[in-house]
Amino acid sequence: MNIRSIFGFLPPRLLYSQEELPVKDVPLSGKAVVVIQKVGQEGPEPAVTCGEFVKTGGKLFDSRGRLLAFSPVTGTIDEIYDLRCIDREFTAISIAIAEADIWDENSGRIDGYETMDTGSLMATLRDAGYDLALPAGGKADAVILNCLESDLMISINAAVLAGRADSIRRGLKLLKGIASADAVIIAASPALRERAEAIAREGGERVAEVDMVKPVYPAGMNEILPRVLQRKGVRRPLVVSPVAVDSMVTYLEKGFPALDKIITLIDGNNQRVNMRVRLGTPISHVLREGNVRISDGDKLILGGTMRGITAFHAEFPVTADIDAIMIQSRRSVVSMGDTPCKGCGRCVSVCPNGLQPHLLGRYAEFFLFERCRDYDIDYCIECGMCAYVCPSRRALVQYIGLAKKELAKKEGEAAHAVE
């Protein structure tokens, strides 16, 4: 992708996809994999054994009785093993799918969630893995439904908004209460205007504002969106995505979260299609169903071009936070490295947070992590704009990631020492 005008004086404008893609249903594969991220060396120990029968929506607990995950399918657990994906370690539970879904009768509607007080509702949600990013103090001035996509090339929200309008509307109402917010704002690109309006009205009544946002990356990042709204002065928002709201409502109403997920599948020629996939489906199966081939030298990206993470194998399952699976063919793989910075300042001119990416990169390169902190590294949202425009092709975001990790490690050690 090379979006640069002949008259390059405007900063590059990376547009989110405005196209609505057809949705293809992916049949269940023979198995589903549930992954649980390990924390530290031990990680939570799942209290399941091979041969155990699980039903769709059934709860999987750890050895201490805490809810770990929901089974997305009905079948028999056939293997529990360790799985790595890039820098993260997971415990994987593989389930051989036995038959058509049998819905777990132990998972049911969360009783009385409509009348619960905010504290217990939030606790209920947190137990199920829904951590609401409420502003400090617990009160938000607005709930913003972020209908822009999470990255370039992805185009799932049109389908989500169309298919789950009622659920999302109910969810927004609930969130408005939880956050004691004064307003609900549906932020969408012009292409989604009608879809957004449909959610903003209940009967004849308007229950939310619709705010049209220019679909220019990185407007769709939760940190940026409140600043680019037409409505000014939103300072302490609760920003949520349609997928998350829908999943949350489904959990409250049925006792288990949304188990199907729409993702955009992008092949090596940038051809795209949307797939409706059961969570836990191995990515290799999605690729097969989409007739997407993968070969040596390609990149397998979970997410989009600017922020996706690359995987080194295709046996990782589709999880709730994966919005796209993208194959980048070897001829379009960009390599970035440690060529010295020339001080041209392009990175500075595109950073949405007004940071100094060239300095962050240089300091990180020479292990001066504390200086990175002086230069506000904590405010970097890793949007990737700086590395996208750097003529020296410096791996700026990777340097920044390194510095953040080292700083966090140091802080962890310091906290440990105090104890």
Q: Find which of ligand SF4, another protein, none residue 361 binds, CB within 5 to 8 Å per kind.
A: ligand SF4
Nearer to another protein (CB atom), residue 53 or residue 127:
53
Stretch in the footprint of ligand SF4 (CB under 6 A) among 80-88, 147-155, 170-178, 336-344: 336-344
Q: How far is the CB of 379 from ligand SF4 (least distance, A)?
A: 7
Size of the site for ligand SF4 (CB under 6 A): 28
Convert residues 356-395 into a mask of x (bound to ligand SF4 by CB under 6 A) and - (unbound).
-xx--x------------------xxxxxxx---xxx-x-
Nearer to another protein (CB atom), residue 168 or residue 287:
287
Cis peptide before 357 (omega within 30 of 0): no
Q: How far is the CB of 136 from another protein (least distance, A)?
A: 7
Nearer to ligand SF4 (CB atom), residue 291 or residue 349:
349
Nearer to ligand SF4 (CB atom), residue 30 or residue 391:
391
Distance CA 211, CA 208 (A): 10
Q: How far is the CB of 385 from another protein (least distance, A)?
A: 8
Distance CA 372, CA 145 (A): 33
Identify the residue among 347, 372, 395, 403 touching ligand SF4 (CB under 6 A).
Answer: 347
Nearer to ligand SF4 (CB atom), residue 30 or residue 345:
345
Stretch in the footprint of ligand SF4 (CB under 6 A) among 20-28, 188-196, 252-260, 335-343: 335-343
> Among 347, 333, 346, which Cα is nearest to 383's?
347
Q: 303 in the Ramachandran plot: left (φ > 0), alpha (ψ -120 to 50) or beta?
A: left
Q: Find which of ligand SF4, another protein, none residue 124 binds, CB within 5 to 8 Å per kind.
A: none
Helical packing angle, 193-200 and 165-178, nearest 10° = 60
Nearer to ligand SF4 (CB atom), residue 277 or residue 372:
372
> Among 28, 15, 153, which Cα is nearest to 101's?
28
Distance CA 51, CA 169 (A): 41
- Strands 142-146 vs 183-188: parallel, antiparallel or unpaired: parallel
Positions in 390-419 near ligand SF4 (CB under 6 A): 390-392, 394, 396-397, 400
Q: Find which of another protein, ligand SF4, none residue 310 binds, CB within 5 to 8 Å per kind.
A: another protein
Q: Find which of ligand SF4, another protein, none residue 394 binds, CB within 5 to 8 Å per kind.
A: ligand SF4
Nearer to another protein (CB atom), residue 24 or residue 393:
393
DSSP 113-162: TTTS-HHHHHHHHHHTT----PPTTS--SEEEEE-S-SSTT---HHHHHH
Q: Find which of another protein, ligand SF4, none residue 136 binds, CB within 5 to 8 Å per kind.
A: another protein
DSSP 362-406: HHHHTT-HHHHHHTTGGG-----HHHHH-TT-B-HHHHHHHHHHH
Nearer to ligand SF4 (CB atom), residue 324 or residue 351:
351
- Phi, psi for residue 398 in degrees, rounded to 5: -65, -40
Q: How far is the CB of 353 from another protein (least distance, A)?
A: 6
Nearer to another protein (CB atom), residue 163 or residue 401:
401
Q: Find which of ligand SF4, another protein, none residue 395 binds, CB within 5 to 8 Å per kind.
A: another protein
Cβ neighbours of 215 (radius 10 Å) = 21
**Pair of tokens at residue 223:** 């940190």
User: How far, CA to CA in Å, does 142 sit from each of 97, 105, 119, 209?
Assistant: 43, 37, 19, 10
Q: How far is the CB of 43 from ligand SF4 (least distance, A)?
A: 30
As beta bridge partners, residue 278 has: 260
Q: Find which of ligand SF4, another protein, none residue 50 binds, CB within 5 to 8 Å per kind.
A: none
Please calculate the CA angle 198-202-203 and round it to the nearest 5 degrees.
110
Q: Find which of ligand SF4, another protein, none residue 381 binds, CB within 5 to 8 Å per kind.
A: ligand SF4
In the chain, the amino acid numbered 58 is G
Nearer to ligand SF4 (CB atom), residue 12 or residue 43:
12
- Strands 183-188 vs 299-302: parallel, antiparallel or unpaired: unpaired
Positions in 166-195 near ligand SF4 (CB under 6 A): none
For residues 363 and 415, the answer to whether their CB atoms sit within 8 Å is: no
Please calculate the CA angle 324-327-329 and round it to the nearest 5 degrees.
155
Q: How far is the CB of 198 from another protein (least distance, A)?
A: 32
Chain contacts with ligand SF4 (rule: CB under 6 A): 341-347, 351-353, 355, 357-358, 361, 380-386, 390-392, 394, 396-397, 400
